[in-house]
A and B are shown apart, each in its own frame.
Chain A
Amino acid sequence: MIENSPELSIPALRAGDRHQFALLVDSYSIPIYRLGLKMLGNQQDAEDVLQITFLKALQHLGDFEGRSSLSTWLYRIAANEALMLLRRNSQKSIRQSISLDEESEDADGEALQPVQLADWTALPESDLLSAESKQHLDSAVQNLPARLRVVFIMRDIEGLSIKDTAEALALTETAVKTRLLRARLNLREQLSDYFGERLHQETHDEPRTQP
């Protein structure tokens, strides 16, 4: 969750104060970069999203009316850029179609019924957040359809409220909640597959070599 920096003055920003803009950049660049990284899955595209987001913010600060918070406004620009880049990338490799449309709500045919029922929650956090596990967490997010991924990233990774997520993505709160449930079920399934296997190995593995 982005903290609204107390030193940021919206009137000064709108008036073109460069020091204020630099402060804005430093306050928000990590979460914006992270959004790009989780959406696109690589550092180069994440950096592109970051740069374009702040270039656009600079151009359009004059239009910022303060109806949403500054962070929601920035997230909206960043999410649009990320989805645009995804679309462009997918034209090269027709791996997935990108759609944020409301009507495709049931189009994915994702299984909502939990299949994996291993309770891996007792695995130590050092295992769950090891470098290898994190790679798996990242690729699981990449497996989500983009319209679910963007909602999950904003709400659960960045910690925006349902309301702010809806605002940033121009979706209804109901649509956000629906997508969030699907995204969470999907990821839970993928992680349970992975960690359930780990759990199985830990409890059944015989030592391979005798000391």
Chain B
Amino acid sequence: MNARWAIFVVLFVHTGCTTKNACRPGGDGTYTTALYDKLSSYCMVNIEAGDVVPESGVTPYDQTTPLFSDYATKRRTIWMPPGTPATYTADGPFDFPVGTIATKSFGWNGKWLETRVLVKKENGWTGASYVWNDDQSEATIQPGGGFFTTPESDAYLVPNKNECIKCHESTGTIVPIGLRADRINHDFAYATGTENQLAHWSRMGILTGAPVPESSPALADFSDTSLSTEARARAYLAANCSYCHSSTGEARNTGLLLGMEVTDPYRLGTCKTPVATGKAASNLSYDVVPGNPDASIMVYRMQATTPSIMMPELGRSVVHSEGVAVVRDWIAEMPGSCQ
């Protein structure tokens, strides 16, 4: 009895866990050498009453304009080894310490399918997806990925480990996508009350060097109809396309660049002839034709669901009508023509 009690005290003191979940975020720490087989070993999240609940000491966060994933509900968490905060940067992902664990869980109607884990090791980021069991008590690593049925689709892709790089790689290095100032600079409803996420992270000591939120970049919310169509469409494209369509991303060979920093209409697709597009050009001449969404390859590919034609290439199997609508409206409002 004495020995068991002693172990409990050590855990309690070391991690601050409540008695509800006597696990320690990060587990035994060996995940920085090899990813755990079971999601529970990380002690990041569990599922209670149909929702993903962060463990004590693990911070939930969300995105201003999220990546569309077949209308999945997503829950995100971030955790860093205590006393080692991330360092703020205004553009690009923050500089995270070794041992950082980010998770993103995907579910529909209170049933959770997968949780993706991104881990910062000594030599950089690595990640994998964990697929939940039927009773939602545990998720198991699935390096080979696979196709699953959801309420939206019978071909939802849990990415294999190599597919992760298609979105997460920036010229040879795996990077987080949404863990940057502009994507999280907005209010979040914490259990303790609503607070700006940047301010919260700074206050909690997991982010250093951040200015006040008003001085940080903030991506627009593409669903906010009080904003201009252009602002909404650009935010949507930045969140859903620019991880590949940037000068360092997987689609850099196309010359079509869709990040918020891009200002040249040609680079954003206006009257730009397609490159390496093949049949996905569908007899259309330009990525974006001002005033004419139906003549724009960008819209055609966003409306497609056939692999090799649809954009983004990975991450969805159904059309995001709301996203398509915003991009269509933006192009329809655009002045000018291509000839």
A and B are partners in one complex rather than unrelated chains: no
* Interface residues of B, Cβ cutoff 8 Å to A: none
* Interface residues of A, Cβ cutoff 8 Å to B: none
